[in-house]
Amino acid sequence: QVKESRRSALAPYLGIGDAEHEGRRVVFGQKVMQAVADSLLGWTTVDGRHFQVRQFRNMKGSIDASTLPADQIDDYARMTGALLARAHSHSVDPKLLAGYCGKNDKLDEAVAGFAVAYADQTERDFEELLTAVKSGRLPAETGI
């Protein structure tokens, strides 16, 4: 597949100038973030316009999380979180990331503390949602 690559929608807000080649910019970002590279991934220029080249059908599976049984949601969340963390870890220089994280447990403790606080907030939000539905303040279709 050949797809035209245009300037990033974020560029004007980040003060970023035009890329030397928009297709190359997109491809570089994809290579950094993807766990498995597309062997056909590349870029080209046609009549002065920038394009990215990629595999048309990746034939990779996908999961519709809404169809998962309740006892598999946590596994799905753990897996997607690990994949997201892996992608982010590949987006920076490992030495820079290691320097930022430090050699003690402060970052681990901060992330764990945030996770617990966020889980508590999620439970409070859910209780508030249930209360709003039960009181009729928020219409909802139940029993689906």
In a domain, 85, yes or no: no
Compute φ and ψ for 45, nearest 5 degrees: -125, 135
In a domain, 123, yes or no: yes
In a domain, 47, yes or no: yes
In a domain, 75, yes or no: no
In a domain, 32, yes or no: yes
**Structure confidence by residue, pLDDT tens digits, 26-81:** 998 888 777 776 778 899 999 999 999 988 776 667 889 899 998 999 999 998 88
User: Which residue would you say has higher pLDDT here, 63 or 92?
Assistant: 63
Give the count of domains, the chain. 2
78: Cβ contacts below 8 Å, ≥ 6 apart = none
In a domain, 67, yes or no: no
In a domain, 72, yes or no: no
In a domain, 66, yes or no: no
The pTM (predicted TM-score) of the whole model is 0.47
What range defines the domain where residue 105 resides? 94-144
